[in-house]
Amino acid sequence: MGVGRAGQRAEDLINELGITAPNEIDIEAIAFDRGVHVSYEVLHGCEATLVGYGDKAIATINPSSSRGRERFSIGHEIGHWQMHRGKSFKCRSDDIVLNYSSNNDYEKEADEFAAHLLMPTRIFQSAIRASGQPGLNDLKKIADDFEVSLQAISIRLAQLDSLPVIVACYSKRGREWYSRANHIPWRWTPKTTLDRDSFAYDVLHNGQTHTRPRKQPADAWFEQDDADQYELLEQAIPSANGQVLVMLYLSDSEMCEEAYTQSSRSRY
Ligand SMILES: [Zn+2]
């Protein structure tokens, strides 16, 4: 997938600052460099605010026990400042899920900016390559290196589009969100409620977890009639608020290729 406009702005900034390693992404120093003063203050009804005056701005961040969340909020506000100058913002920027699914372009752009600022493609790509086909445990370690949340890094991995990966989050209500590598055909959309045969179901209902992705028939995850012809790799772990985070690798490459035949056929 190509990098969007907001992502490119963040990547350009990273290059301009000569940053080449995760531990060099000092988010407060980057904010300072852009004229944004960061302060921490308990906020009600939002996670971060941005107020600009002239060529300076103040980003106020709701303190969190997760440094990853704070960093994402700061990156998000820098994004607003770089791209939407002249406006003030009250953001729920910790909750990237709400923003990804929101219709608010400003919020989406600020999130895309933050994701690329905290996980620049070149640096992130080499960390991912070093772990081959990372499981969620590997991703946790990479998330620690980049000081981002597991959720943020999972979504970034899917959007990087270098591996046939789908990440998703389920609660007892059903699917909360998912993110899919762009080259995976649209028809492979994870079910809206967890199948009893999925490992994620066991995690959500019985607290069972596995340390590695394991083989699973694809019809545990997809409604398509032909899903039972394929196998995939599934890993699921407990996430915040009683939810479960799922990672699926479409390891059978035919699942990604076959769609071309299908879509060209459907034109006739
Ligand atoms: Zn925002």
Per-residue pLDDT tens for 46-80? 899 999 999 999 999 999 988 999 999 999 999 99
pLDDT digits (tens, 9 = 90+) for 28-40: 999 999 999 999 9
DSSP string for 75-92: HHHHHHHHHSTT--EEE-
Report CA(98)–ligand 1 centroid distance (Å): 11
Cα 62 to Cα 46: distance, rounded to the nearest angstrom:
8
Cα 172 to Cα 7: distance, rounded to the nearest angstrom:
33
Report CA(203)–ligand 1 centroid distance (Å): 33
pTM: 0.89
- The pLDDT value recorded for residue 16 is 97
Report CA(238)–ligand 1 centroid distance (Å): 27
CATH for the stretch 5-121: 1.10.10
Report CA(6)–ligand 1 centroid distance (Å): 13
Ranges of each domain in the chain: 5-121, 164-268
Closest CA to 238 of 196, 195, 203, 262: 203
Report CA(165)–ligand 1 centroid distance (Å): 27
Report CA(110)–ligand 1 centroid distance (Å): 6
Report CA(46)–ligand 1 centroid distance (Å): 10
